[in-house]
Amino acid sequence: MSIDRPTSPASNRELVPKTTNPNLRPGTMNHPPKTILSAAAMLLLHLLLPLLLVGYVVVDAAGNDPKSRGINIMNESGRRVEIYWINPDNGSMVLQSTPDILNGASMSLNSFVGHYFEVRELPGKKTGVCGGEDQTCRVDHFTVKTTQDQVIMIKEGVSVEHTDSKTIATRSASALLDTCKSEAKSQLETGSQTPLSILESLGKCVEKGVALEIERANEEIAFQADVRKEMANLIENYTCADMTLNTTEAKRTEYWEGRKVDVMIDRPAAKIHVIENFLTQEECQAVEERAAPILHDATVADGSGGSKLSDSRKAKQAGIKVHWDKEAEGDLIASLSRRVYDYVNHVLPFDIKENGQEDLMSIQYFGRGPDDEKPDRYMPHCDGDCKVWTYGHDRYVLAIFPRLEDRRGFAIRMFTSSQ
């Protein structure tokens, strides 16, 4: 749960209580040899194709129109192009690409089965002419098919190549099966093995090929996941620098004990709420006074139960012990801490108690501001390992980040891995 993320003010403060859940721990065949080979090949193809499709096919289960299809258009023609939908009723053309699609760029489009499109080359910006014969602008067309995950490749010469995940998987399966059939045919022609042993060899060949395909798919998935994570880190620099960037809109708004709560994310294993006026000015002052004499360089968990300094955290921090024995006397920090647990148990079904939980953590920023080359801020990081866990496993259940000063010009908080 979060209220803003200070990126680099000269003196900003956060209070970070974290809670864990103590209750969770996480025969003989008489067919001719060629018939055996053909039948086996067909059987293996039927078995192989679904396996290969696992790595490529994503079925739309969102309950949308059964004829609705998402298509991805990739321009590899070396030219700028435009995409038009052709109205089947009157033949009019409706521009879909605004702006045009540059060479090397892609465009996603939601369409329907049977829709007909035209790809049209645009003149070069410098030359003012197209690349066709007599400098004419080339065109090609495509129709949306029934298959899922369709990709429209615009190749050199503005030639459209229409493919999809099923076609890719079928092509891969056929190529693999052709290789195995060729090996089996060679064994059959030599007559050195029985039909049964040839069939077994065919099966082993296919099994090996499928294993390689799955390995390639896993490598591709891992590669794309790494790219996404690296992009998230880079994008943060741009978004933090843009003070005009709009905050994500709330999914819904609720009220808790008179406080407005914007629910930003509400998933089984990830919830992000923004709570207005969570603490009072008096509580802010009490936290600052308690933290002042014990502030030190902020650290992150080292994954082995300890902590370490990190370039991702440029701030000061102080752990503040909560005197629960003074709660009845109106101790401000105890009152604030109780409110933390009350809200936690309001939104989660864990009935978490204060016993055994971490103290409050005050985080304060002193030093380089937003105009410095390397401002002091919290970069995306994980406390310990970055493995994704659901609730339990002796990991943090949640953290609440009350902001003690309202400096919205510098306050941005991001969650780049909120599964």
Strands 81-86 and 116-121, by their bridges, are antiparallel
List, in sequence order, every residue forming a beta bridge with 107; answer none if it has no partner: 73
φ and ψ at 319, to 5 degrees?
-80, 130
pLDDT tens, position by position, 188-242: 888 778 888 888 888 888 888 888 888 888 888 888 888 887 777 677 767 767 7
Q: What is the CA radius of gyration of the chain?
A: 30
Residue 395 pLDDT grade (very low, low, confident, very high; cuts 50, 70, 90): low
Residue 1 has pLDDT above 50, yes or no: no
Fold type of domain 68-147: Immunoglobulin-like (2.60.40)
The whole-angstrom separation of Cα 129 and Cα 393 is: 63
Instruction: Give the separation between CA 14 and CA 284, rounded to whole angstroms.
Output: 10
Among the listed residues 355, 331, 329, 323, the one whose alpha carbon sits nearest the alpha carbon of residue 341: 355
pLDDT in tens, 141-174: 999 998 888 999 999 999 999 887 777 777 778 8
pLDDT tens-digit profile of 80-129? 999 999 999 999 999 999 878 999 888 999 999 999 999 999 999 889 99
Could you check whether the bond before residue 99 is cis, i.e. omega within 30 degrees of 0? yes
Distance CA 147, CA 160 (A): 17
201: nearest Cα among 55, 33, 49: 33
How many other CB atoms sit within 10 Å of the CB of residue 323? 13
If 0-12 CB within 10 Å is exposed, 13-18 middle and 19+ buried, where does residue 369 land? middle
* Cβ atoms of 5 and 408 closer than 8 Å: no
pLDDT tens track for 12-71: 444 444 444 444 333 333 444 444 444 444 444 444 444 444 333 334 444 457 889 989
Distance, in Å, from the CA atom of 72 to the CA atom of 110, rounded to the nearest integer, reads: 9
- Is the Cβ–Cβ distance between 320 and 313 less than 8 Å? no
- 266-299 b/e (C-beta count within 10 Å ≥ 16 → b): eeeeeebbbbeebbeeebbebbbebbeeebeebe
Which pLDDT value is given to residue 118? 96
One-letter identity of residue 211: A
Contacts of 264 (CB under 8 A, 6+ apart): 248, 250, 251, 272, 273, 274
Q: Helices 195-241 and 165-190 meet at what angle, rounded to 10?
A: 150
The kind and range of the H/E element at 45 are: helix 33-54
* Nearest Cα residue to 234 out of 14, 4, 414: 414
Confidence tier at 269 by pLDDT (50, 70, 90): confident
What residues does each domain of the chain span? 13-25+242-410, 68-147
**Which residues, in sequence order, are bridge partners of residue 6?**
411
Confidence class for position 399, pLDDT limits 50, 70, 90: confident
pLDDT digits (tens, 9 = 90+) for 363-372: 777 766 667 7
DSSP state of 17: -
Contact by Cβ (8 Å): 103, 78: yes
**Average pLDDT value for residue range 336-345:** 90
Dihedral (CA of 72, 76, 82, 84) sign = negative
pLDDT at 228: 80
Mean pLDDT in residue range 255-278: 88
Contact predicate 7/407, CB 8 Å: no
pLDDT band at 139 (very low <50, low <70, confident <90, very high): very high
Location of structure tokens 């002052």:
285
Instruction: Report the pLDDT value the prediction gives residue 216, as an integer from 0 to 100.
Output: 84
Question: Amino acid identity of 117?
Answer: F
Mean pLDDT, the chain, whole residue set = 76
